[in-house]
A and B are shown apart, each in its own frame.
Chain A
Amino acid sequence: MTPTQTAYKDLIFQSEGYFGAYGGCFVPEVLLPGLQEIAAAFDEAKTDPSFLDQFHDTLHTFSGRPTAFTPLPRLTEEIGGARLFLKNEGLNHTGAHKITHCIGQILLAQRLGKRRIIAETGAGQHGYATAAVCARFGLDCTVYMGKKDYERQRPNVYWMELLGAKVVAVEDGTQTLNDAVIAAFKDWVEHPESYYLLGSAVGPHPYPAMNTFFQKVVGEEIRSQCLEAAGRLPDYCVACVGGGSNAMGMFYDFLDDEDVRLIGVEAGGRGTRPGEHAAKVLHGQLGIFEGYHSYFLQDGDGNIASTHSVSAGLDYCGVSPILAYLADEGRVQFETASDEAALAAVQRLARVEGLIPALESAHAFAHAFELAATLPKDQVVVINASGRGEKDLFITMRHFQEESLVAYAQHLLK
């Protein structure tokens, strides 16, 4: 590997929250002391060997890391192009990559002596993981969830409540992730002594860099697993992008390997008109919202636009300022996959390889299948299966077997 001219890896953790022009800390003054406290604690912890030992030990014993790196020989054969592998983050406890930054942040909250955790959630994966680590470490937990997400991801609501968390359905706005983030920030204004455990590589400093730091273990594992399984580094790493935590987790370790191409796949939804998709980098404009400067879906007058995706985890108006910067630099390439393509990818992966990805991750697969067909057979494409698909039972079942779902619902109600 030849080193690249830009050392992106160093830049991300030395930037004080600015990535090129993006990032920053755009919050009301009342939240600044809390954010500065977290940023200072993170700065200390990230080089503290005892903290890092505890982090990696908890990842191993509580979440089951390292996660599997799985060749997809039958799909490779069927598509007839590049060799396909997946990183199975869905094997983590609670079913997705989210628990990795939750473990990192809960250890930080504990270090700060916090007793109460606030979190937002979209698909429910971050809330579910937050509820699990709060139970594990004995902290009080309140999770905000848009009412639309609350209803479409009901299984995760149940798991959070079983784990002792209070789940609040937010009825403001479009009732999705965006509104949950705002409700969580308002809770933090009213309870500044609480710890806000924000769940993606978005938001004000230090969250984008901090969650990337905790998630980068994904790419580190892929590096060694891919060398072992394929005898080379990936030629392409493909991840879905909602806020960007799983993508940054996968991409970070490869940022300075210029031969490893990095592709983020946004939610193409059901069309390219405003409100039909959630493709921020490809269709958004620069703005400042929810604490950070990045690309946002908005109207021409600075109001935030509504978004759509079949997957709740991608149904969000903004994108990580780190990814916005890397997109402008040309280091990460962006594509979209539609609702239909994602659903089809779930079915194809299930039938051909016996794996059921989350609808979010299915966007990455949908694009990777198209990409692989265009590549020679010696190339290696790795896809981040950021979550497993069981949480989507009622969405995918309605799509694939609506009559069975209705019959089952009627049976339950008898």
Chain B
Amino acid sequence: MAKNLKNLFPGLAYVPGDTFVHRLHPLPKLLLLIVYSVSVIIFSQVVPAVALFFILLVFYGRSGLGPVFFLRKLRVILMFGLLMMLVQVISVRQGTLLWEYAVFGGVTLRVWSAGAAAGLVMMLRFINIIASSYLFVSTTDPNKLAYALMQVGLPYRYGFMLITSLRFIPVFTQELTIIRNAQMAKGIDLEGVTPGKALRAVKYLLTPLVICALNKVDYLAVSMESRAFGLFPGRSYLFEQSVDKKEWLFLAACTVLLLAGGLFLTRCY
């Protein structure tokens, strides 16, 4: 399960760096992501969608995540986008006929202008939404994001839910390896496809993992509460995650440009 998810979104994790995109404070960055996504949804013509795609590429460029990252990590998304386009191209039959090709036995492939446009827009919107979120995750330190969100009003219990789960990912990965080793030492072979075997394999993996997790959670709860977690409805913070005035200005400028530019392009074409 986890492995499948990983294949679908390879390397969906923070990539530390020191570029303009990395340094932008998490809050304006998150808001910018929202504004961008809204623009993607509102402006559904071909030209604005292409423009938005180029803006995204510019941000990818500025963040130091080059085309290799884009093509490699978003491989599945790109392929899925292409597939969506193909379906549209084949199924929509309006506008002018652009291209025709006789396959065999009287079956002819026809590409219509409206189909091509609809396909292109659908693919671009899909890619824009996913790739922009990907960029956000890749360039934002989740720890900073959580602390920033808590300081602007996210209840701190939720913030620490995120932080502790990030904290425990490496811990559980390690536990999982140990459990696999212990299974091998006892001759439990998980290579097998019969349903009975698979079921047992899951049981043999989950039982110790859940027990270990519960154990850790007990420790963690004691450790957090003995340090007054949950005593007051609010808490103070050692580091103020303040947003620079320039960053707010940047966000405002981007918002105006995106919306105005989108409107302009929609009107013109």
User: Are A and B co-members of a single complex?
Assistant: no
Residues of chain B having any CB pair with chain A under 8 Å: none
